[in-house]
Amino acid sequence: MVAFLARQARIATPLMPLRVLRSRNVTGANLVQFLLVVGMFGMFFLGALYLQRILGYSPLEVGLAFLPWTIVMGTMSFRFTARLNLRFGPRATLIPSLVIIAAGLLVFARTPIDGTYLVDVLPAMILMGLGTGLAFPSLMTLAMSGATPADSGLASGLVNTSVQVGGAIGLAVLATLATERTEGLLADGEATAAALNSGYHLAYLIGAGLVVAAIAVVVTVLEPAPQASEEPESELDLAAPEPAYSEAA
């Protein structure tokens, strides 16, 4: 990534002109998204392993177990997030959504080896659905608000790229740390299920910590997106502008 940025800064026609990163909202929104998807992807992958290897779910049951997350996320994204962004602004909407995501990860970090779906899994799924359904549209709005019309396509592509890169790197790191934790406990004589679950819990806690770091970025870096202009106060505001020349001329 460092080599890519160095290369883009030197060539005449860069794939990603670095001028787009001068905007605090573009840079901040991508950094927040990078940190956010680490925990989210970690819960997708390691949460599925928990359901299969600890609770004994089949692949189909794992998919159905994650379905509430998808339903809640879609409902929030399509019906409520836009209204909240218009009323309170995307930055004000983003902060509580990240708090909800961190809470979902912390709830999942307490799942026991003999857990039940309704008590131990479903609450975390609902919280993650609420948080992600609010967070991602707000992040996109903030990222696009900091880009010029000429760079709008670049800013949109950059946001999507940060999701893929953050998810890939973050999942690799979390899976590695979880595996090391599990192997250490197995070497100490811990039961397999308990060792696996402890490794998963470590990954969720790290993900929650990164979401807290994302909240700090929102508070210190991101600026409120410009609000849409208000409607004209009277019909006179809709009148055509006066000509530049005088009637006498």
pLDDT for 76-111, tens place per residue? 998 899 999 999 999 999 999 999 999 999 999 999
Which of the four pLDDT bands, split at 50, 70 and 90, describes residue 225? low
Structure-token pair, residue 77: 């994204």
Place of tokens 């992958």: 45
Closest CA to 205 of 174, 160, 241: 174
CB 24: neighbour CB atoms within 10 A? 14
Per-residue pLDDT tens digits for 105-157: 999 999 999 999 999 999 999 999 999 999 999 998 888 887 888 888 888 88
SS (H, E, C) 140-209: HHHHHHCCCHHHHHHHHHHHHHHHHHHHHHHHHHHHHHHHHHHHHHHHCCCCHHHHHHHHHHHHHHHHHH
CA distance 125 to 210: 19
State pTM to two decimals: 0.84
Reported as a pLDDT band with limits 50, 70 and 90, residue 227 is low
**What's the CATH number of domain 23-144+155-222, 1.20.1250.20, 1.10.520.10, 1.10.357.10, 3.30.70.260?**
1.20.1250.20
Q: What is the DSSP letter of 241?
A: P
- Residue 177, judged by CB atoms within 10 A of its CB (0-12, 13-18, 19+), counts as middle
